Amino acid sequence: VMTDRGSASWRAPSNIALVKYWGKYEGQIPANPSLSFTLSASHTTTTTHFRKQSGTASFPTFDLLFEGKVKADFNPKVRSFFERIIPYSPWLKDFHLEINTENSFPHSSGIASSASSMAALSLCVLEMERLLYPSMTDDVFLRKASFLARLGSGSACRSVEGPLVSWGQHEKISAGSDLFGTVYRGSVHEVFRDYRDTILLVHKGQKTVSSTAGHSLMKDHHYAKQRFSQAHSNLSLLLDVLENGDLEGFARIVESEALSLHAMMMTSIPYYLLMKPNTLAIIEKIWEFRKETEESLCFTLDAGANVHLLYPANREDKVLQFIKNELVAYCQKGQYICDQSGQGAKKL
Ligand code: PMV
């Protein structure tokens, strides 16, 4: 039986997609399957204090503090998140929540916080739900947390567990679902068990076009059908590469996915660009470096200008040297974040 008041605290990481989710149907159903590395250093910590509202309520009330301060511009996002999840967790409407949230990475660094923040908030909600239904198994807990996170921000459903999570149906992933992320349980070569992601901060400003707008531009996109089928086949190829440890194959697929994502933006109506000149300068440097040294590093991009450098942990010394010598010059204020693949969210 649920107490009238209490608190829940979770930390959830960001994630970086290797095969990208871009385009969705009604109800946050992805147009194609995706697969990501769960990250570790880039995360959101959320603590929720809750108490029962007096009388009968039709909607939860909440106060939101971001890094200890009231941040009213986040309220509509949280409100519409609650609207979407109330049908699945109707008990929530009787409560008042005080939500305290903070990110490990600098605000508006161009690192998307929607995945980590929606995952952390969903886990807090589920923690409350577990008090109400104490017989809930861990499996159900994680699955429903991912399900709710998806309703907040699609890619957030891949931020609950780790280190490799898929979302969406694919013939080679039997556990795959459109409704929540699942840990990829297929065989994974040793080289991919400890992977680094160094995030080069190229541009810290607000995105000119939101991901929500980007997804909806896929609806009438000239290349939508081709893109969704490309994602399917790239995921197929990637699963083979993950099994056999082919780092060149990995780079080919992952870089193709990043550039295809941005190609969709450049060919939608209206068209737009999220890459910056320094994004391209970094990509060319990476290709040069790879040609010269045969080091196994590759890049990927999110819906933004920052560059994620992916490489095996044992290449770290070489790659960090390269970053310091050649790439830092293209980063805003010389900033980059050292992250790595991780195990998923943690209860605090
Ligand atoms: O979760 P959203 O709706 O913000 O979509 C983001 C999608 C990408 O980050 C661009 C790709 C992905 O699969 O994470």
The CATH number that applies at residue 141 is 3.30.230.10
- Shared domain for 24 and 165, answered yes or no, is yes
Dist CA 251 CA 292 (whole Å): 16
- Shared domain for 170 and 288, answered yes or no, is no
- Shared domain for 99 and 208, answered yes or no, is no
Query: Has residue 108 been placed in a domain?
Result: yes
Q: Which atom of ligand 1 is nearest to the CA of 261?
A: 10
Give me 262's structure tokens: 């941005």
Distance of alpha carbon 161 from its chain centroid, rounded?
11
- CATH assignment at residue 297: 3.30.70.890
Q: Given 3-state DSSP classes, what are the helix, strand and coil percentages for the chain, each rounded to the nearest 5? A: 40, 25, 30
Q: Which atom of ligand 1 is nearest to the CA of 212?
A: 3
Tell me which of 141, 167, 187 is where a domain ends: 187
257 DSSP β-pair partners: none
pLDDT for the residue numbered 164: 98
Annotate 130-158 with b (16+ C-beta within 10 A) or e (fewer).
beeeeeeeeeebbbbbbbbbbbbbbbbbb
Dist CA 59 CA 46 (whole Å): 21
The preferred substitution site among 14, 20, 157 for testing ligand 1, maximizing ligand atoms within 8 Å of CB, is 20
What is the dihedral sign for C-alpha 322, 326, 329, 332? negative
Cβ partners under 8 Å of residue 14, min gap 6: 39, 42, 43, 44, 105, 111, 112, 113, 115, 116, 159, 339
Give me 147's structure tokens: 């399900």
212 DSSP β-pair partners: none
Q: What is the pLDDT of residues 120-170, one digit of tens each?
A: 999 999 999 999 889 999 999 999 999 999 999 999 999 999 999 999 999
- Shared domain for 145 and 206, answered yes or no, is no
- Shared domain for 14 and 142, answered yes or no, is yes
- Shared domain for 155 and 241, answered yes or no, is no
Tally of domains in the chain: 2
What are the distances in angstroms from CA 268 to CA 219, 220, 284?
A: 10, 8, 25
What is the dihedral sign for C-alpha 251, 254, 257, 258? negative
**What global pTM score does this model have?**
0.97
DSSP conformational letter for 206: P
Dist CA 104 CA 127 (whole Å): 22
Beta carbons within 10 angstroms of residue 38's beta carbon = 28
Residues of the chain predicted below pLDDT 70:
1-2, 108-110
The preferred substitution site among 155, 159, 306 for testing ligand 1, maximizing ligand atoms within 8 Å of CB, is 155
**Domain extent at residue 64:** 5-187
Q: Is any ligand 1 atom within 6 A of the Cβ of residue 260?
A: no
Dist CA 149 CA 134 (whole Å): 21
- Shared domain for 51 and 175, answered yes or no, is yes
- Cα 294 to ligand 1 centroid, rounded to whole Å: 30
Terminal alpha carbon distance of the chain: 22
Cβ partners under 8 Å of residue 229, min gap 6: none
- Shared domain for 115 and 148, answered yes or no, is yes
Residue spans of beta strands (DSSP E) within the chain: 5-19, 24-25, 29-30, 34-52, 61-66, 69-70, 95-103, 164-167, 182-183, 195-200, 298-301, 307-312, 336-340, 346-347
Give me 223's structure tokens: 């290349």
Beta carbons within 10 angstroms of residue 104's beta carbon = 18
Q: Is any ligand 1 atom within 6 A of the Cβ of residue 17?
A: yes
- Shared domain for 134 and 206, answered yes or no, is no
Q: Is any ligand 1 atom within 6 A of the Cβ of residue 147?
A: no
Query: Has residue 348 been placed in a domain?
Result: no
Query: Has residue 208 been placed in a domain?
Result: yes
- Shared domain for 74 and 204, answered yes or no, is no
**Residue entry with tokens 């980007």:** 214
CA angle 280/284/288 to nearest 5° reads 170
- Shared domain for 162 and 286, answered yes or no, is no
